[in-house]
Amino acid sequence: MSCTTLLVGKNASNDKSTMISRTDDGRFDVKKLVLVTPDKQPKKYKSVISHLEIDLPDNPMKYTACPSVDLKRGIWAATGINEANVGMTATETITSNPRVLSADPLVEFKKASTKKEKDIPGGIGEEDIVVLVLPYIKTAREGVLRLASLLEKYGTYETNGIAFNDENEVWWLETIGGHHWMAKRVPDDVCVINPNQFGMDCFDLDDAFGKQKAHLCSKDLREFIKDNHLDLNQNGKFNPRDVFGSHTDMDHVYNTPRAWFMGKCLAPFSHKWDGPDAEFTPESDNLPWSLVPDRKVTVEDVCYILGGHYQGTDFDPYKNRDTGKRGMYRSIGINRTGVTSVCQIRSGVADEVKGLEWICFGSTTFSSFIPVYTNVNKIPKYLSEVETNVSTENFYWGSRLIDALADTAYSDCIQQIGRYQNGCFIKSRQIVSEYDKKVAETKDIALLEKANEEICKAARKLTTDTLNIVLHVVSTKMKNGYKLSDN
């Protein structure tokens, strides 16, 4: 499943919060936001895709999740924050190469060919990972270690990147073949840009096999690299992307352009992104995995970037004048996104309110983000009660309707879309500021459920008002319109 990930270290953000964010770009998957309490967490987990059964620990914590409404392909919980204020997003589908995949093959489900034989389960994958890990971890680092143990025991049938954050740290793990992995603590002052490719471009193996301050990996990774002649690096440098990743023509259309756009937004002045002497182009293989932003990064910045469609460039599919480059690269904000989240773990606020999960359903180009306090016992119906049939009674389908309509009349609707998105940010921030103070004074976490309801009430009105306006605009553009009055 293709996605786009953006991570923000605590010293790179405007308010000392850590942020992990990802677009979940599926098959127009209908999504919802739910709270999974310990009594609803399974004791034995069974994967739909790989038919793998795993016994789970007896002490799960409650956590938020964004599962698929239709469970025929599994849960696909996507993202969430648990009651220990640890966030997780899983997964960013990444690339690999034949040398890695032949040395450590992916662990795929094998159907028995005869009645006498038994099915052979596959490994774990995106369908499973949040449910298997998030309820049982109290720090981001613990998330890496738990997931790593599962990968080593059961393997995986796909290549993925997974992010974790707590109040102080952000960690990024990438799978290598069927059973291997490596993980890196994101430096506090940087942002990470990762679009569907093996991302890490530097890694300290000495630290991973020594003090493990900021690097972790499979215990046999050095031998795995050496025995399979995987190291393509020159001059003693170790670039994991060259060893475990890909450099294909398809990357230059589908992946690297998104990294280029994100880098251009985050560091427009410290690097040259355009022109004949550009340091980086949309098709550069050496685009940085992480960079120090030119200014502190806000939630609004993250959401803008994740709605990116190369605005301000010739590659924008909505550009009025075609220069022959319009729409040639895969945008970040696309039509088939089910849910996008920003797991924000904040510092300088009461423990009860540290976790905020910003949720956006549908295409991030046109839809709005709203924050949800995660330290609650229930989620508002506007976010949690979603069916596969279209309805204006929930945030998911309201967002999808706006997306589909506004896309057909972009230039006529985009100003209203901007008002809608800003309106949700403004109203939501006012409510969050109010309830942060109330909970700090009273320690009454029941107030957080009231805050979430107020945020959803405001979002519902803004969504309905925007849908009314966009529908009217698009209706006036219908091809069967006729201006001559019948009077």
Question: What percent of the chain is modeled with pLDDT above 70?
Answer: 99
How confident is residue 236, by pLDDT bands cut at 50, 70 and 90?
confident
Catalytic residues: 3
- The side-by-side arrangement of strands in the sheet containing 215-217 is 79-81, 87-93, 160-165, 170-176, 180-185, 215-217
CB of 164 closer than 8 Å to CB of 64:
no
User: For residue 228, what pLDDT is reported?
Assistant: 98
| pLDDT tens-digit series, residues 283-295 | 999 999 999 999 9
**Cα dihedral 456/31/127/65 (nearest 10):** 10
User: Is the confidence at residue 485, as pLDDT, over 90?
Assistant: no
Question: What percent of the chain is modeled with pLDDT above 90?
Answer: 95
User: Is the confidence at residue 324, as pLDDT, over 70?
Assistant: yes
| pLDDT tens-digit series, residues 272-286 | 999 999 999 999 999
Residues 443, 28: Cα–Cα separation, whole Å: 40
CB of 110 closer than 8 Å to CB of 119:
yes
- The tokens for 90 are 């899983």
User: Is the confidence at residue 404, as pLDDT, over 60?
Assistant: yes
Distances 93 to 42, 61, 175, 325, 329 between C-alpha atoms, Å: 26, 27, 10, 26, 18
User: For residue 483, what pLDDT is reported?
Assistant: 76
CB of 402 closer than 8 Å to CB of 375:
no
Half-sphere exposure of residue 380: CA atoms within 13 angstroms, side-chain side: 24
CB of 428 closer than 8 Å to CB of 371:
yes
User: For residue 323, what pLDDT is reported?
Assistant: 85
Residues 11, 410: Cα–Cα separation, whole Å: 36
- CA-angle at 135, arms to 129 and 141, nearest 5°: 75
User: For residue 235, what pLDDT is reported?
Assistant: 85
| pLDDT tens-digit series, residues 50-86 | 999 999 999 999 999 999 999 999 999 999 999 999 9
pTM above 0.95, yes or no: yes
User: Is the confidence at residue 487, as pLDDT, over 60?
Assistant: no
Residues 6+ apart with CB under 8 A from 179: 104, 107, 151, 152, 155, 156, 218
How confident is residue 1, by pLDDT bands cut at 50, 70 and 90?
low
Going along the chain from its start, the domains and CATH numbers come out as 2-365 (3.60.60), 390-478 (no CATH)
Tell me the sheet residues that pair with 180: 176
348: left (phi over 0), alpha (psi -120 to 50) or beta: left
Residues 369, 22: Cα–Cα separation, whole Å: 13
